[in-house]
Structure 1
Amino acid sequence: MQNNLIKTEIADHIAVVTMTNPPVNAYSREFTEELIEVFDELNDTPDVRVIIITGQGKIFSAGADIKSRGNVGEIKGETYRHLRRTREVANCIMECNKPVIAAVNGPALGAGMGPVTNADIILASDNAFFALPEIDIGLMGGARHTMRIFPHSLARRMILTGYRLPAEEAYRRGIIEACVPLDQLMEEAMKIARSIASKSPKALSLAKRAINTVETMPLRDGYRFEQNLTVEMTRHEDSKEAMRAFIEKRPAVFKDEA
């Protein structure tokens, strides 16, 4: 990994991915390409069972780098390459075969909400807020991802007015799992990450496949899909180890391979 604009630390099966593109972790071309590369590599890292993504400084991410956008349309085809890169920031997190926790350390704006709305679990500091300011800066985008996890009226209010949703309100509405003081945010995220990291990598991989697949499937088809994954899990050694550990009343010892 490059570790230039995206810093990655791995310990105890947990990868902490920190966006470090000061002053506001904006999405430059180099930033987006490196972030995608990091998640692609973590997908192929057997020792990693869970990922936390957070930001350095006072802002999680301000989204699009407006200053650099001014040159996007000047190079033939660059507009579409830029849009593709931006899409993939969300996709590489949503499609990650490892659980992803977003520890939102400050404002998440526009495209900067991509890692938030596509993470599996969301926590935020009490100074954070969520907003889609595109309506005020001549852009569009982010509606579909936001509407997937935000309530109908609230999502539309954010899209049409640029309303800044405080983290405390997001927690009250059940959109995020926790709203804590900034100095407690990473420890709260680590508590959840440690719990996830204690599970079977194979079970986590199958659970992520189920989560990402059944969300858009009819009930009957989705449940059948999950049952097929259950059959696959029972044939794995980790399943047998989990059952033995349960009977013997001891912690299970799993393989690192999924």
Structure 2
Amino acid sequence: MADVISTNRVEPGIAVVTVNSPPVNALTVQGWFDLAEAITAQGRDPECHVVVLRAEGRGFNAGVDIKEIQADSAYGALIGANHGCAAAFAAVYDCAVPVIAAVHGFCLGGGIGLVGNADVVVASDDATFGLPEVDRGALGAATHLARLVPQHLMRTLYYTASTVDAHQLHHHGSVYRVVPRAELDEAALAVARQIADKDTRVIRAAKQALNGIDPQPVHRSYRYEQGFTFELNLAGVSDAARQDFLDNGKGE
């Protein structure tokens, strides 16, 4: 069985981290921590100048594995998923080198956390982005959605659990390029080559500088959101919403 998270050095200085967790790339607790470790490890390697984060299968990412959470009545999986997501999102943001997200198909929930914290986003023309959290009785990643769209659109998408496509995000400037699905990997690598060709000492300093002037405290903001998810779980709201999602055949 193939690893859920794999890393390849496709060209000098370019690391490609791939998520492959069929059927929808919804990650388990361990999967989120493995993703965080893979991205962080590449940033620590002086031979790595840039990371491309991509996925196999039907879509980029469908968030957390709801079945795993629902199977644990003691909330250990829920706590683990929250910590795992926070670790993976932080790994993208804090990676010592730029991270390019190559997005295809659906990018939902935790996928927004990864993409919102990426340095560059390239998407295929079939890509859609959204947070279905309110329909699952949860909250989170509005912090990251707010990095992709303007404030009022973010709120509308959040309250309605609606999605936007790659062309809309390109209009807002958060997606750098939109290409046909078959050209996505090459489009991401084209940007990666431009970055990898530069002095990595300068690029690493630039990443630190850009994070240092970022007006959004992404780590604290996301953890604040997660506190409301815990409240909803304690009140029984989230458990009922997740079970309804699974009972209606949506949790593949």
Per the normalisation by structure 1, the TM-score is: 0.79
1:16-27 map, 5 Å? 16-27=16-27
Q: How far, CA to CA, are the matches of 2:72 and 2:83 in structure 1?
A: 12
Partners of 2:66 and 2:60 in 1: how far apart? 16
Contact preservation (8 Å) 2:123, 2:184: yes
The AA in structure 1 aligned to 2:12 is D
> Does the Cα contact within 8 Å between 1:73 and 1:79 map onto a contact in 2?
no
Q: What SS is found at the alignment partner of 1:122?
A: strand
Structure 2, unaligned stretches of length 5 or more? 217-252
Q: How far is the alpha carbon of 1:175 from its aligned partner?
A: 2.0
Among all aligned residue pairs of Structure 1 and Structure 2, give the percentage whose two residues are the same amino acid: 35
Q: Distance in 1 between matches of 2:32 and 2:39?
A: 11
Q: 1:192-231 alignment to 2 at 5 Å?
A: 192-216=191-215
Write the letter of the residue equivalent to 1:36: A
Structure 1 residue 136 corresponds to structure 2 residue 135 = yes
- Secondary structure at 1:216 match in 2: coil
2:54 is aligned to 54
Task: Compute the displacement of 1:71 (Å).
Answer: 3.2
Provide the rounded CA distance (Å) in 1 between the counterparts of 2:129 and 2:4. 22
Structural mapping, 1:44-193, within 5 Å: 44-74=44-74, 78-193=77-192
Asked if the contact 1:64–1:112 (Cα under 8 Å) also holds between the matched residues in 2, the reply is no
Aligned to 2:37: 37
Give the superposition deviation at 1:78.
5.0
Residue 118 of structure 1 contacts residue 145 of structure 1 at CA under 8 Å; is this kept in 2?
Answer: yes
Indicate if the aligned counterparts of 2:148 and 2:169 stay in contact, CA closer than 8 A.
no
Q: C-alpha distance in 2, partners of 1:72/1:114? A: 24
Partner amino acid, structure 2, of 1:131? G
Give, as a single letter, the amino acid of the residue that structure 1 aligns with 2:96: N
Over the aligned positions, Cα root-mean-square deviation in angstroms equals: 1.6
- In the alignment, the residues of structure 1 paired with residue 74 and residue 27 of structure 2 have an alpha-carbon distance, to the nearest angstrom, of 18
User: Cα gap change, 1:78/1:190 in structure 2, threshold over 3 Å: closer, same or farther?
Assistant: closer
So what's the TM-score if we normalise by structure 2?
Answer: 0.81
> Which residue in the other structure is 1:232 paired with?
none
Secondary structure of 1:149 counterpart: coil
SS in 1 for 2:16: strand
RCO comparison, higher one (Cα < 8 Å, 6+): 2
Change (3 A) 1:72 1:192: same
Q: Deviation of residue 8 (structure 1)?
A: 0.8
- Measured against aligned partners, the alpha-carbon deviations of 1:132-153 in whole angstroms (never above 9, x if no partner) come to 0011121111111211332011
* Larger of the two Rg values belongs to structure: 1
For structure 1, the residue ranges without an aligned partner over 5 or more in a row are 218-258
Q: What is the CA–CA distance in structure 2 between the aligned matches of 1:108 and 1:158, rounded to whole Å? A: 14
